[in-house]
Chains A and B, each alone.
Chain A
Amino acid sequence: MYSPKILEYASKTFDDIVIPDEIVVSEGIACGDALVAQGEVNGDTVRFAIMVTDGCLLSRAMSTYLCVKGSGRRLASVRRWILSIKEAAERDGERMFDCWDIPYMPERLECLMAPVNALVELTARLVSRSTTVYRMKDTEALLDCDACVRSSSVLWANDTAPKVVYEEKNNEVSDDFREKWCRVSKCRLDDGDVVLLRELTPHVTSLDMEYIRHEKMAQCVFSNMVRAGMSDALVDPQWKIVYYQIHRKAVVRREIEAIASFVGGIEASFIKGTNTGALYDAEGIFRLHLDYDILCFSEEAAWKLGCFLLRRGFLMYKDVFSLKKVDVRGKEVVQGHFHMQKILDDQFRLVIDVNYPGFPVGRIGLFFPSYDGVFISHENQFVITLCHTFKHRNVYMKDINDLYLMATRWKMDKTRLLTLIQDAELGLFASVALNYICSSYCVSAEERNLILSLVPPGHEDDCLAVKGWPYAAQAMLEVKRLDLTRRKQRQRDNPRTYLMPLVMVSEPITGMALDAVVRKLPTMRRVSNTVAVEDIGGVRVLLTGMGCFLDKQVGCNVSVSRDHLRTRLRAIIEAAGIRRELLMPFVTAPRLNGWFF
């Protein structure tokens, strides 16, 4: 069917590991060839690989040809070379086919050009690239969630790209401003709240909208406007974003169903919004979320899930993979957290937020819900949400709404729930959150009794220690500081390790493979059942069940040679016996540029 030249290049493997500065993902609109080009620049030399993830032999042959002929040359020279190929093809498409000794097939020109175009874009990006450097956030002072910080980029040896320091937006608002929006974000409004809603919402400014979106309140305010019959105000195009968030929830359903089916077969469970959504549906409120949270009860389950997601086209969100050693009753447990992302229909971002083997309580605690192999009980779900309410710097009103609806709509074993709250030492959090609900949610006497009965004995007055929660930023800080001070009496706050994906695999690396690595490579040592680490010259590479990762924290202080890293990765891959076809072509997720509308 094709020439020997096509067959030769299409079957040749260009077996290179690229630790990319830039990634270009291309999906031909007419041809349907899907490919990825990734490149790194060391000094003035470019190293690149073009992987055809789903494509025809022409596209594969051209990809390999470009890699063989171009990778390892000077970036400027590769740029000139690829532009000349593109221009020649535009002038005379037939010549492209002559070069490959195949008859001219105009309808297949795009198959040959897709890799060329991808390399044109990749080299353009590499020429103008810059490295974003994040300032290390002092999460200890602010008690912000230390799993959510952007960790700094790795300092690569011979990296000539200009550095751009990322300036985080100052989202600070006054407590009064926060209070008014929090009040109208509750799922239960009193008459005064409705009056406030009617005052606020017809004049939403872009800054208001940015704030309520950032704080995940927009959906709650929107729902309350719908319930209050404020359809005129909803004509404001600023609310479009919520309509599309509602639509996204419907679109991602097909993916969530497939994931749920897999999750049902491993030691894992959906937590938070996925479970509480039905409570909102019954109230006529939209409960929307970008992230779908899954708790895995073991490292192994987390790797299985991660690999499954990779196979389904998810990619790792490069800023959010971290490990932290947590003392749990004198035993050291490695807690992990990562995000995987997939773009559906080229528009809708779906994030799977994975925690294992327990759910974080503040900075240094872990909650281990009981799991019957299928479900996490309502009582345990309640505790997880209670933990999350105090996880981030500010309180999300959706968490308080969840607590209110869970407490009043779910049938729960009160004694069991109180025991769970007490065992996890969450009395303070329960007191603060549940007393706030009783004072602000327009609850009936019956609901009030029910809600307050969930505050463990002895903690009834804990809430009095903080004033102004959840509106005052200082109040949140005080609650968390109080909790941390108590926990620190028994536990240490270990540093968190932030990881950058280097190589990931579509099937989990087994414990046996890890044994083999540790046996063959004396530089590797095991840190847990499924994680081994190699620390050479201050550069730490971790091998997990999902693949190899670089400790970014070390990498931003020490200059890391990518050539050296590549050598180590090859050695690890070989020692682990990882087959080439299991290596995922690329692993970090691109960002969406925003909505079409």
Chain B
Amino acid sequence: MTRALTFATALLLAAVVAMGVYLHILRRNERERAQNLPDTRPISAPVAGPASHVILYLAYDGPGTVRAQEATIALPADPAQRGREILHALLGEYVKRPSSHELPAGADVKDVFLVSGNTAVVDTTPAFAEGHRSGIFVETLTVASLVKTLTANLPGVTRVKILVDGKQRETLAGHADLECFYDVVTVEQLLQQLQ
């Protein structure tokens, strides 16, 4: 083998190795990008049930208030599943564009658990908190809207705890406390002051 041929073969082999490494990096980057995208897939199968009238308490950033609005959605018989569907409808209003109170794409409720008779635990998606706008007022509106909508439609529920992706989180986006239980009376007082 001539010296030139040896050199060319070595060069080609080096190019193959370099391309392999480059391909590996590309695949890894793409995988990471896909993982970081908000998960917008439906988190549960559509429920079956009769269409029912519910009241959603929608937050409005402009006037800085929360207003009641009727909606008709299919609701199952199980109270916890009803709670999830009602909050799914509420957050669906905020994910739409334009919205009175914008939340990031993928913000949704994963599950609602009813415990100790009067307590509801709401488990939200990571996007609900990760992409939420930061500010005392804007975070307060989100919490108040969510708690009021749930407690107004599930009689007997007076305390609400919000989790993010199954875990407790210190704050929603730097301000609103997510470690506490929200009491319907204090939320009601807040809503009265917002009127």
A-B interaction:
no
Residues of A near any B CB (own CB < 8 A): none
